[in-house]
Structure 1
Amino acid sequence: MGERVGIVGVGLMGQAFVHHLLESGFEVQGYDISERSMAKLHERGGTPVESPAAAARGARWLITSLPNSDIVREVVLGSNGVAEGAARGLIVADTSTSRPEDSEKLGTELAKRGIRFLDACVSGTSAMAWKKDLIVIAGGTAEDFEAARPAFAGFSRAAYHMGPVGSGALTKLIINLILFGNRLALAEGLVLGMKAGVAGESLLRVLQDGACSSKTMIDKGPKMLKGDYTPEGQVKISLKDARLALEQGTRLGAPMLVASLWAQLQQAAYQQGLADMDSVAFIEVLRALAGLEKRV
């Protein structure tokens, strides 16, 4: 039998983690508040358990994949939380997009209990996660990072150590900030083409092959063009991430022009009922401003 990994949060990303970890020979035990997600975990060959504490018992590594750092804190330190089931030396790797200061605080508190912590954010969509095309960006001690490498290799194509706890979360927000700009520019260009009557598929093909090409154009361009907002991420999560980035800009005194505009567009999409759709559904806000018909 392989080494045991616990996971709390088996939603869009977590299911892909489970799949690849099992394929890599790990035992996986997991918990989620969603009965449907727990059923999928069982179907994939993982072991559903009754609480975050149970997910930690007997595991060498515990992965959290959750909506925000407040939920991570409750799952780890709350009643029946990870800390209650953890043996000394357990490595908790939080793959959520969290507030860096929250990660630092949690890491300090866990260290007092003999539990090791990495803010091990991942970069990539859930579709990329299923292809094992994610990277891990981790903050923590070099020793803990090296000890977690086998687990990271189980569900990602590369892992990077960025510095102390909190640096992984900050780096993820920087990645997201640049991604915001890529997606915004692509959507704006596509809407201009739509308004002008340019053939969408031809335009996207040229953009993907031109000097402006990016992963965003390959992964998200077709979704924007077709109005396919099947979630690989979600508007509500993208809005949360944008607000986290803006917080860091305020805290550090850095300009956040793109993040500010992105947050407003995601807020508009959220208010238009698109919260649970893929984050690129914000292109509908731009289409409306251009006087184009609604697609959702």
Structure 2
Amino acid sequence: MSETNASSLGVIGMGLMGIAVMKMTGASCGWDVDASRCVNASTANDVFEHCDVVFLCLPNSDIVRDVLRPASLKPGQIFIDTTTGDPGEMAALGAELKAQKVHYLDATVSGSSAQLLQRDVLVMVGGDVDVFEQCRTWFEHFAREVIHVGPCGSGAKMKLVTNLVLGLNRAALAEGIAFAQQLDLDLTQTLDVMRRSMAYSRIMDTKGEKMIMQDFTPQAKLSQHLKDVRLMLAASKLPLPLSETHRQLLEKAEALGYGEADNSAVIQAILKP
């Protein structure tokens, strides 16, 4: 297999992330349940049949299993799973595929599809280190940095940790902007001051203006992050009180109709009674 031959690369799941991966890698075919998004493939098996390397860009681990269960997989084939899923499920899937002589990497992405298109994401990869090195060239098509973090499931674990902090940064920013609005401060100036202060986090650069302008065009959907928070709470043996509060905020925002909106819409759960 040639790791730089785009004709041997496919994508399953042509949502925001899958479309971005396809564009940046030049993959030859992609499949989605929405037929209008499919590229050179009528079924998932079309991708599995023609591609040596397949990116899985799907909403959760259950859907990954549903897609792979009826598939005709080939020994030596490589699956690169960008899904933020359950670490235990991803480790188990890796073991099952290994028994079929199929390779599996859980390669979670820190950053949005928009940032991936700018080659400004971090990829955290779990799985066999030799397979990881074989696929490094693919990752470098869209990542500013890629790190091998351990065996299968480790990529998902690291993503949950980084997403926990990222999500709380976003919620804190939302609460700060809502507080500033209540104090009748100029919100644009407030954001500028926060960026200059010790309160700064990169999330201000990507979500601050969206919150102020209430532009919730999705870069990453709120319901997807709610799924991640639920995974964090389920995976932890320790109480996560801030994440529990964050879950409640996200569930309120979802109930208000912002599930498919950008995750910056968490501010609506604070602004609306």
Q: CA deviation at 1:2?
A: 3.0
Instruction: Provide the rounded CA distance (Å) in 1 between the counterparts of 2:44 and 2:180.
Output: 49
Equivalent in the alignment of 1:9 = 13
Equivalent in the alignment of 2:231 = 244
1:141-196 deviation per Cα after TM superposition (whole angstroms, max 9, x unaligned): 11111111111112222111010101100000001100121011111111110001
Residue 152, structure 1, aligned to residue 139, structure 2: yes
Equivalent in the alignment of 2:109 = 122
Q: CA deviation at 1:254?
A: 2.0
Q: CA deviation at 1:48?
A: 2.2
For structure 2, which runs of at least 5 residues remain unmatched after alignment?
A: none
Give the root-mean-square deviation of aligned CA atoms. Answer: 1.3
Equivalent in the alignment of 1:227 = 214
Residue 132, structure 1, aligned to residue 119, structure 2: yes
Q: CA deviation at 1:224?
A: 0.6
Letter in 2 for 1:35: A
Q: CA deviation at 1:59?
A: 2.0
Q: CA deviation at 1:90?
A: 1.0
Q: CA deviation at 1:255?
A: 2.8
Q: CA deviation at 1:259?
A: 1.2
Instruction: Provide the rounded CA distance (Å) in 1 between the counterparts of 2:229 and 2:217.
Output: 21
Matches within 5 A, 1:149-228: 149-228=136-215
Letter in 2 for 1:187: A
Residue 269, structure 1, aligned to residue 253, structure 2: yes
Letter in 1 for 2:42: E
Q: Which moved more, 1:195-204 or 1:122-131?
A: 122-131
Instruction: Provide the rounded CA distance (Å) in 2 between the counterparts of 1:74 and 1:285.
Output: 33
Matched position secondary structure for 2:107: strand
Instruction: Provide the rounded CA distance (Å) in 1 between the counterparts of 2:235 and 2:28.
Output: 35
Equivalent in the alignment of 1:35 = 35
Instruction: Provide the rounded CA distance (Å) in 2 between the counterparts of 1:209 and 1:130.
Output: 27
Matched position secondary structure for 2:66: helix
The answer as to whether partners of 1:61 and 1:151 remain within 8 angstroms in 2 is: no
Instruction: Provide the rounded CA distance (Å) in 1 between the counterparts of 2:208 and 2:222.
Output: 16
Instruction: Provide the rounded CA distance (Å) in 1 between the counterparts of 2:28 and 2:182.
Output: 50
Q: CA deviation at 1:113?
A: 0.8
Structure 2 counterpart of 1:279, from 228, 251, 263: 263
Equivalent in the alignment of 2:52 = 60
Structure 1 counterpart of 2:238, from 243, 250, 254: 254
Instruction: Provide the rounded CA distance (Å) in 1 between the counterparts of 2:221 and 2:21.
Output: 18
Matched position secondary structure for 1:128: helix
Residue 21, structure 1, aligned to residue 5, structure 2: no
For structure 1, which runs of at least 5 residues remain unmatched after alignment?
A: 39-46, 290-296
Instruction: Provide the rounded CA distance (Å) in 1 between the counterparts of 2:40 and 2:85.
Output: 25
Equivalent in the alignment of 1:75 = 67
Matched position secondary structure for 2:140: helix
Letter in 1 for 2:30: G
Q: CA deviation at 1:57?
A: 2.1
The answer as to whether partners of 1:137 and 1:171 remain within 8 angstroms in 2 is: yes
Percent identity over the alignment? 33
Q: Which moved more, 1:50-59 or 1:2-11?
A: 50-59
The answer as to whether partners of 2:30 and 2:41 remain within 8 angstroms in 1 is: yes
The answer as to whether partners of 2:35 and 2:42 remain within 8 angstroms in 1 is: no
1:193-220 deviation per Cα after TM superposition (whole angstroms, max 9, x unaligned): 0001100100001111211211100000
Instruction: Provide the rounded CA distance (Å) in 1 between the counterparts of 2:28 and 2:48.
Output: 10
Report the count of equivalent residues.
269
Matched position secondary structure for 1:66: coil
The answer as to whether partners of 2:118 and 2:142 remain within 8 angstroms in 1 is: no
